[in-house]
């Protein structure tokens, strides 16, 4: 016991503890709530503690601890006074930023590793799928009859693996696979890997196949890409076997278009080529028959005759405006003469006026000194026909001899020793078929009768734009053009009645009965590149000289007009 009035040492220590507890609680109320109570008690130093510690600051603990623990360790390790450690919020902000950066780094590394693992797994699965696909196709090739027992889903998977984009029912799928694989194990189209399946495009895409029997190569292309994949076809297919790929392509829910790409041709040494730069070698038809094949003049034209055989080459071309062709379309008649070396050139739709004829004649062609022009007088810059020749004719006649038909410059007739040659531009029935009645009841009968009158003395050759696709094989979409000018029932019947039934022979169809070839492609919708055309241009000859026709052909690669030139080689 001490002096009177002084508490004992025990009481003194208890009072000091109580004061310390109260000071701690007061300081905790001013600290951020995120700090733990223990941290709050350590944040405010006791009385008498030194203001600043002189020892070095310890290194930061690992950032695997929580924010409160880090703050506590930070404060305890540094031992800073209240004056230098009053901003605890700033310390917590920095710690949170460091932890966020660390988490982001870990997340990026984990995501990158996960992506690599996923890519490796996809690559392994793709290789397994390709191997499995080859095995399945090989099994079907050895036993094609098992296609009948497969489901539609399985059949579609097989066609996808083989690169044949087809839609249809089970019968169509089985038929296509049987045709492509061959009933005896031979294949018309080589297996295509998963990465070579043609891509789909909006609005539909075409499948193009090129087969060369000599080199036994198959080249398949997708129209959306210019890349080309070459694979070797299986040897063992004879010239007597034909392979077909029927591709049904849906353009809308109502309209379906069938593309048939014909394989090897039954004629020895005859191959069909399809190239993105040669779209006419791709058969595009909505009602194609199994025996139809696309036209390829490179391989379908007969070999040239010997030099001892006298021939006459006649070319015919609807130029759709001669002045425009000469000035700006990039291919001149002079170039055509150099390339084809023709004897006679017949032109339609020259759209010339009589005042311009002499100017055009002077610089058009050298060596072709005989030219005969007729122009429309009822409507200037409309219609018009001409014949340019280096062989002098015996006589020339303009028109049909009927005033009602001879004001538009549609017919020129020249007489040679052995035949009459006519170039004609038959009237189009027009929008809304306004001239249909005039054409089928007046014009066509007059032209047919005129030809028969000439035939009484000599055979007749008629060439030009006759503005009629006579058969369904002559137009890419027969069903959709029943009421279109050039394919109405009335025009087709008139063509047969006034020309074919009177003994005139369609030379191209006589030479190529199952070949789909077009001579006209509209400028709209890029029809030439998709080979959606019409065969409107003809050579019709009298039956008496049909056997003298060596070749009747089309030059689809010349695209300076919406029509392509066509040619006839006649043995004299």
> Is-contact 286 532, C-beta < 8 A?
no
Q: Is 172 marked as a binding-site residue?
A: no
Q: What pLDDT is attached to residue 527?
A: 92
In the 8-state DSSP scheme, what is residue 479?
G
Helix (H, G, I), strand (E, B) or coil at 567: strand
Least confident segment among 257-266, 477-486, 519-528, 529-538: 257-266
The beta-carbon contacts of 110-119 under 8 Å, at least 24 apart in sequence, are: none
CB burial of 178-206 (b: ≥16 within 10 Å; e: otherwise) equals ebbbbeeebbbbbbbbeeebbeeeeebbb
Residues 293 and 516: their CA atoms lie apart, in Å, by 6
Taking the chain, what is the end-to-end CA distance rounded to the nearest angstrom? 155
242 has a pLDDT exceeding 70: no
Residue 93: its H or E element? helix 88-142
Phi, psi of 458 (to 5 degrees): -150, 155
70 has a pLDDT exceeding 50: yes
Q: Is 217 marked as a binding-site residue?
A: no
Closest CA to 375 of 407, 401, 397: 407
Q: What pLDDT is attached to residue 225?
A: 37
State the pairing for strand pair 344-348/385-389.
antiparallel
Q: What pLDDT is attached to residue 180?
A: 66
Q: What pLDDT is attached to residue 142?
A: 67
Q: Counting every residue, how long is the chain?
A: 572
Most confident of 170-174, 201-205, 359-363, 499-503: 499-503
Indicate the pLDDT class of residue 283, thresholds 50, 70 and 90. Answer: confident
26 has a pLDDT exceeding 90: no
Residues 224 and 529: their CA atoms lie apart, in Å, by 12
* Residue for token pair 């006419």: 280
Q: What pLDDT is attached to residue 255?
A: 40
Q: What pLDDT is attached to residue 119?
A: 78
| Gyration radius of the chain's alpha carbons | 44
Share of the chain above pLDDT 90, in %: 45
DSSP track, 467-527: ----SGGGBS-TGGGTTSTTS-HHHHHHHIIIIITTTEEEHHHHH-TTEE--SB--TGGGT
Q: How many C-beta neighbours within 10 Å does residue 36 have?
A: 17
Q: Is 84 marked as a binding-site residue?
A: no
Which ranges in 341-440 belong to alpha helices (H)? 354-364, 436-438
In the 8-state DSSP scheme, what is residue 534?
B
Q: What pLDDT is attached to residue 440?
A: 97
Q: Is 453 marked as a binding-site residue?
A: no
Mean pLDDT, all residues of the chain? 75
Distances (CA, A) of 375 to 293, 354, 359, 385, 409: 39, 6, 14, 7, 4
Indicate the pLDDT class of residue 75, thresholds 50, 70 and 90. Answer: low
Distances (CA, A) of 200 to 206, 250, 459: 9, 11, 53
> Is-contact 564 554, C-beta < 8 A?
yes
State the pairing for strand pair 256-262/244-250.
antiparallel
135 has a pLDDT exceeding 70: no
Half-sphere exposure of residue 256: CA atoms within 13 angstroms, side-chain side: 11
Give the domains, in start order, of the chain with CATH numbers. Answer: 293-571 (3.60.10.10)
DSSP track, 139-193: HHHH-GGGGGGS-HHHHHHHHHHTT----S-HHHHHHHHHHHH-TTS--SS----
In the 8-state DSSP scheme, what is residue 305?
P
Q: Report which of residues 364 and 270 the model is more confident about.
A: 364
Q: Is 96 marked as a binding-site residue?
A: no
Residues 473 and 208: their CA atoms lie apart, in Å, by 19
Residues 451 and 440: their CA atoms lie apart, in Å, by 16
490 has a pLDDT exceeding 50: yes
**CA angle at residue 431 from 426 to 434, to 5 degrees?**
70
Q: What pLDDT is attached to residue 89?
A: 66
Least confident segment among 204-218, 285-299, 553-567: 204-218
| pLDDT tens-digit series, residues 322-349 | 988 888 766 778 889 999 999 999 999 9
CB burial of 356-393 (b: ≥16 within 10 Å; e: otherwise) equals bbeebeeebbeebeebbbbbbeeeeebbbbbbbbbeeb
Q: Is 514 marked as a binding-site residue?
A: no
Q: Report which of residues 242 and 327 the model is more confident about.
A: 327
Q: Report which of residues 97 and 461 the model is more confident about.
A: 461
Share of the chain above pLDDT 70, in %: 65
| pLDDT tens-digit series, residues 151-168 | 877 777 777 767 676 666
Residues 469 and 409: their CA atoms lie apart, in Å, by 22
Q: What pLDDT is attached to residue 153?
A: 77
Which residues are annotated as catalytic?
A: 425, 465, 563
| pLDDT tens-digit series, residues 396-445 | 999 999 999 999 999 999 999 999 999 999 999 998 999 999 999 999 99
Residues 152 and 158: their CA atoms lie apart, in Å, by 10
| pLDDT tens-digit series, residues 203-239 | 333 333 333 333 333 333 333 333 333 333 334 444 4
Tokens at residue 344, please?
Answer: 């006679």
Residues 126 and 560: their CA atoms lie apart, in Å, by 47
* Residue for token pair 């005042």: 355
Torsion of CA 528, 531, 534, 535, to 10 degrees: 100
Closest CA to 338 of 306, 367, 303: 367
Q: What pLDDT is attached to residue 262?
A: 38
């Amino acid at each position: 016991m001490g002096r009177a009035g002084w508490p004992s040492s025990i009481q003194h220590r208890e009072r000091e503890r109580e004061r310390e507890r109260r000071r701690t609680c007061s300081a905790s109320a001013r600290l951020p709530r995120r700090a733990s109570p223990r941290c709050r008690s350590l944040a405010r130093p006791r009385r008498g503690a030194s203001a600043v510690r002189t020892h070095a600051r310890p290194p930061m603990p690992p950032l695997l601890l929580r924010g409160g623990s880090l703050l506590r360790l930070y404060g305890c390790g540094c031992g800073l006074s209240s004056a230098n450690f009053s901003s605890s919020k700033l310390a917590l902000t920095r710690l949170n930023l460091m932890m966020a950066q660390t988490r982001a780094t870990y997340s990026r590394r984990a995501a990158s590793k996960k992506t690599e693992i996923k890519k490796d797994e996809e690559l392994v699965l793709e290789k397994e799928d390709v191997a499995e696909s080859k095995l399945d196709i090989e099994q079907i090739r050895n036993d094609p009859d098992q296609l009948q027992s497969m489901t539609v889903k399985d059949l579609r998977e097989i066609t996808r693996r083989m690169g044949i984009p087809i839609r249809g029912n089970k019968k169509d799928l089985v038929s296509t696979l049987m045709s492509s694989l061959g009933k005896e194990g031979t294949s018309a189209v080589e297996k295509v890997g998963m990465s070579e399946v043609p891509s789909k495009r909006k609005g539909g895409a075409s499948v193009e196949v090129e087969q060369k029997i000599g080199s036994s190569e198959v080249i398949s292309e997708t129209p959306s890409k210019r890349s080309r994949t070459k694979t070797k076809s299986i040897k063992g297919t004879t010239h007597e076997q034909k392979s077909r790929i029927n591709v049904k392509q849906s353009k809308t829910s109502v309209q379906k278009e069938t593309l048939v790409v014909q394989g090897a041709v039954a004629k020895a040494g005859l191959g069909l080529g399809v190239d993105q730069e040669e779209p006419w070698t791709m058969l595009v038809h909505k009602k194609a028959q199994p025996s139809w094949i696309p036209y390829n003049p490179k391989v379908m034209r007969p070999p040239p005759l010997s030099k001892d055989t006298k021939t006459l080459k006649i070319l015919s071309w609807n130029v759709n405006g001669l002045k425009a062709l000469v000035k700006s379309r990039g291919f001149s008649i002079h170039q055509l003469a150099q390339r084809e070396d023709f004897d006679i050139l017949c032109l339609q739709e020259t759209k010339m006026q009589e005042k311009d004829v002499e100017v055009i004649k002077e610089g058009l062609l050298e060596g072709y000194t005989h030219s005969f022009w007729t122009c429309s007088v009822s409507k200037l810059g409309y219609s018009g026909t001409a014949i340019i020749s280096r062989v002098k004719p015996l006589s020339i006649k303009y028109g049909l001899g009927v005033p009602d038909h001879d004001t538009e410059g549609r017919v020129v007739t020249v007489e040679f020793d052995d035949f009459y040659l006519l170039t004609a531009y038959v009237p189009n029935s027009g929008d809304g078929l306004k001239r249909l009645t005039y054409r089928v009841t007046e014009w066509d009968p007059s032209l047919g009768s005129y030809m028969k009158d000439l035939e009484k003395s000599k055979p007749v050759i008629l060439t030009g734009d006759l503005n009629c696709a006579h058969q369904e094989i002559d137009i890419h979409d027969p069903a959709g053009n029943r009421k279109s000018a050039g394919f109405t029932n009335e025009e087709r019947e008139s063509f047969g009645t006034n020309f074919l039934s009177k003994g005139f022979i369609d030379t191209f169809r006589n030479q190529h009965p199952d070949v789909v070839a077009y001579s006209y492609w509209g400028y709209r919708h890029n029809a030439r590149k998709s080979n959606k055309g019409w065969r409107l241009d003809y050579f019709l000859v009298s039956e008496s000289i049909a056997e003298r026709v060596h070749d009747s052909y089309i030059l689809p690669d010349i695209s300076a007009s919406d029509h392509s030139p066509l040619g006839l080689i006649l043995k004299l």
